Structure 1
């Protein structure tokens, strides 16, 4: 049956149309988070309308207190960012990650970060194998060459 339908569609539409339709790459479902500077209801409405009218956007959630916009759908992050910037608002990809481990130093402190979040940094200081132990004993009381600040 599939061969018959393909033959008829080739006859009616032409052989090239059928191939173009099957070779088109499908976009994957993404959740894009942005930090957009919004002060009032008008700013929020302007950003919401611009992002909700994008092709592929299925939902737009805005948290004005955190200055956070979440767009879900079949969209590309860079296109969403450009569309948000086209409204005249300062926009960037969401730069914060949740901070849950109090025993490790946070990646980068940012006083404007929402509660429980720190700024995302790709590589603060690359740690080479074996160097981690050396860094841990640098300020140890057992190390006679340790730095003493007292």
Structure 2
């Protein structure tokens, strides 16, 4: 009977497995006490495998069978200002020195993780004007406007 219940999806005793995640946070820490407070809060959390803190970069890396939202909430309960790690290596971004992406406070070799950057409409029109001059069908031909 139990096999049939599981087969039909009526078995509620089966728990959903958690995935092994790495969560990176930006936490403002000024002293050893701040660092210890954050580390103790995260180390006592169920499913945490390791906690690494780089106080110079204000970066906390947590690995384990955890949910990012719960890790963020746990650090918020310590009273520290926290956000998800906003930086990525600059070679992963198409235009790393665009206004929304470049950040002076980012660690060396990193820029803000901006998924979509919208260019001004006048720049797009200018770019379209030049790309329409050439033909992919006949690379030796061009049109003069």
Shorter-chain TM-score above 0.5 = yes
User: Where in structure 2 are the equivalents of 1:19-58 lying within 5 Å?
Assistant: 19-21=11-13, 23-58=14-49
1:89 to 75, 80, 84: 80
**2: CA distance between counterparts of 1:120 and 1:67?**
17
1:71 to 51, 62, 77: 62
- Paired residue secondary structure (1:100): helix
Map of 1:115 onto structure 2: 108
User: Are residue 80 (structure 1) and residue 71 (structure 2) matched?
Assistant: yes
Structure 1 stretches lacking a partner, 5+ long: 1-5, 7-18, 139-143, 146-150
Segments ≥4 residues shifted beyond 3 Å: 101-107, 135-138
Number of aligned residue pairs = 119
- Paired residue secondary structure (1:66): coil
TM-score (norm 2): 0.71
- Paired residue secondary structure (1:97): strand
RMSD between superposed Cα atoms in Å: 3.1
Structure 2 stretches lacking a partner, 5+ long: 3-10, 132-143
